[in-house]
Amino acid sequence: MDYDIANIGLAKKGKLRIEWAARNMPVLQIIRDRFSKEKPLKSTCISCCLHVTTETANLMITLKQGGAKVNLCASNPLSTQDDVAASLVKNHKIPVFAINGENNSTYYQHINKVLDVHPHITMDDGADLVSAIHQKRKDLVKDILGGTEETTTGVIRLKSLEQKELLLFPIIAINNAQTKCFFDNRYGTGQSTVDGIIRATNILFAGANVVICGYGWCGRGVAMRARGMGARVIVTETDSLKALEAIMDGYEVMPIKEAAPKGNVFITLTGDTKVISEEHFKLMKDGAIVANGGHFNVELDLDALEKISVKKRIVREFVEEYTIKNGPRINILCQGRLVNLAAAEGHPACVMDMSFANQALSAEFIVQKSQTLKKKVYPVPEKIDKQIAKLKLKSMGVEIDNLTSEQKKYLVSWEAGT
């Protein structure tokens, strides 16, 4: 079996940690049990480009139990948990191509490795697999039934392909399922981003001025958690509605330029490029901490920061201090890579349970419905989304009320008024 990982000797530790995550992934476990019996993915080749974490390992094991042949590479050079990669190879015989800290060239070599198997399904987090296929490996398209996309940034890229009528196979936008974005993006990113910043710096959030750039689901989650820890939170936005929502949620809202001299900690979660740029870095307080929680490392203009800096040094693991000429020292976390996965362990298993249940059931859906799917970006079918919510509640031992037949009838009527 072909693979490329850091150290197979780490498998024992990885196995224990994968099992630990499984305890908080009951919905995926139910799917895994059914997949083992029914084998709905029999002989389906699935190439995955995901963060190589304990939660992803549980998804890989589920797909394999469903009969799929899975291959995995990393969706970020700094997010791979090397012990997990080792356990997947050694204990589960799943080919993994991912090494924490790999350079750009190895990152793309690994993407090509998982594509070499001629997948029937692609499973992306950030759309790098689909992008590579569309730019360099169009020969693979004839075998592909469809793909899935895990994250906001990836869905934006894929919708752009669709709008330009360039998309070559159907995609299911996992990110947009309600059981995904309401929980993973909000509570997962909220907790894991704060966790990453604290592990990297050991700072106290209480009393700190924390600037959150972007008030989508992820920004909302991080703002909520930072405030809960006693920080004074400032939100920056470009969308009027989201800015209004942030105000009514009780945060200060202002342009980044105004927030720059006020903040102690800056966190970007926008999905866009150069959100914090040269002019902002120059205005910051000495010792400001800057982290990115968005998928790609483009949100901070680090090239500009490098140009205006006279000194750069690593001051502790995950923290690089730039000294701007006649200006402040700025601490950049994890080279601007997503801080929750690079300095911490990503979202907790409890929320990834629902995200990856969507992945597993959408892969099954693609196999069942590929004949009817067009070259479009589709939402996760509502039936799947609702089923996951029900299973999750059941796993928590929570019961809810049912509508009476009178109530159901009332909801579809129009005659009765005051």
Q: Which residues are annotated as a binding site for substrate?
A: 53, 125, 150, 180, 184
Report how far apart, in Å, the C-alpha atoms of 323 and of each of 47, 261, 327 are: 43, 16, 7
Residues 67, 40 contacting (CB under 8 angstroms): yes
Nearer to ligand ADE, 185 or 331 (CB): 185
Stretch binding ligand ADE (CB under 6 A), from 49-57, 134-142, 232-240, 405-413: 49-57
Q: What is the rounded CA–CA span in Å between residue 348 and residue 67?
A: 27
Tokens of 297: 């490392």
Of the candidates 55, 124, 237, 299, which one interacts with ligand ADE according to CB under 6 A? 55
Residues 135, 110 contacting (CB under 8 angstroms): no
Of the candidates 17, 110, 282, 347, which one interacts with ligand ADE according to CB under 6 A? 347
Q: What is the rounded CA–CA span in Å between residue 285 and residue 139?
A: 52
Output the DSSP codes for 271-311: SSS-SB-HHHHHHSPTTEEEEE-SSSTTSB-HHHHHHHEEE
Nearer to ligand ADE, 157 or 347 (CB): 347
Whether the CA torsion 272, 193, 302, 112 is positive or negative: it is negative
**Binding to ligand ADE by residue 51, rule CB under 6 A?**
yes
Q: Which residues are annotated as a binding site for NAD(+)?
A: 151-153, 185, 214-221, 237, 340, 347
Helix axis angle, 217-228 to 189-201, nearest 10°: 60
**Residues 202 to 231 in contact with ligand ADE, rule: CB under 6 A:** none
Nearer to ligand ADE, 53 or 358 (CB): 53
SS3 call for 324 = strand
**Binding to ligand ADE by residue 352, rule CB under 6 A?**
yes
DSSP 312: E
How many Cβ atoms from other residues are within 10 Å of residue 257's Cβ?
12
User: Which alpha helices (DSSP H) does 39-167 contain, by range?
Assistant: 54-65, 82-92, 104-115, 128-136, 152-163
Tokens of 253: 């809202």
Residues 324, 308 contacting (CB under 8 angstroms): yes
Size of the site for ligand ADE (CB under 6 A): 10
Q: What is the rounded CA–CA span in Å between residue 283 and residue 261?
A: 5
E strand or H helix that includes residue 410: helix 405-411
Stretch binding ligand ADE (CB under 6 A), from 204-212, 256-264, 321-329, 339-347: 339-347
Stretch binding ligand ADE (CB under 6 A), from 50-58, 173-181, 206-214, 274-282: 50-58
Nearer to ligand ADE, 54 or 209 (CB): 54
**Binding to ligand ADE by residue 190, rule CB under 6 A?**
no
Of the candidates 29, 301, 346, 359, which one interacts with ligand ADE according to CB under 6 A? 346
Stretch binding ligand ADE (CB under 6 A), from 28-36, 51-59, 99-107, 384-392: 51-59
Tokens of 260: 């720059």
Minimum separation from the CB atom of position 333 to ligand ADE (A): 16
Of the candidates 24, 29, 47, 53, which one interacts with ligand ADE according to CB under 6 A? 53
Stretch binding ligand ADE (CB under 6 A), from 173-181, 300-308, 344-352, 410-418: 344-352
Q: What is the rounded CA–CA span in Å between residue 141 and residue 133?
A: 8
**Binding to ligand ADE by residue 56, rule CB under 6 A?**
yes
Q: What is the rounded CA–CA span in Å between residue 236 and residue 240?
A: 11
Q: Which residues are annotated as a binding site?
A: 53, 125, 150-153, 180, 184-185, 214-221, 237, 340, 347
Nearer to ligand ADE, 174 or 253 (CB): 174
Minimum separation from the CB atom of position 53 to ligand ADE (A): 4
SS3 call for 321 = strand
Minimum separation from the CB atom of position 80 to ligand ADE (A): 11
**Binding to ligand ADE by residue 167, rule CB under 6 A?**
no
Q: What is the rounded CA–CA span in Å between residue 307 and residue 350?
A: 42
**Binding to ligand ADE by residue 194, rule CB under 6 A?**
no
Minimum separation from the CB atom of position 287 to ligand ADE (A): 28
Q: Which residue is nearest to ligand ADE (CB)?
A: 346
| Residues sharing a CB contact under 8 Å with residue 374, sequence separation 6 or more, in sequence order | 170
Nearer to ligand ADE, 31 or 352 (CB): 352
Minimum separation from the CB atom of position 277 to ligand ADE (A): 26
How many Cβ atoms from other residues are within 10 Å of residue 99's Cβ?
20
Binding site for ligand ADE (CB under 6 A): 50-51, 53, 55-56, 188, 341, 346-347, 352
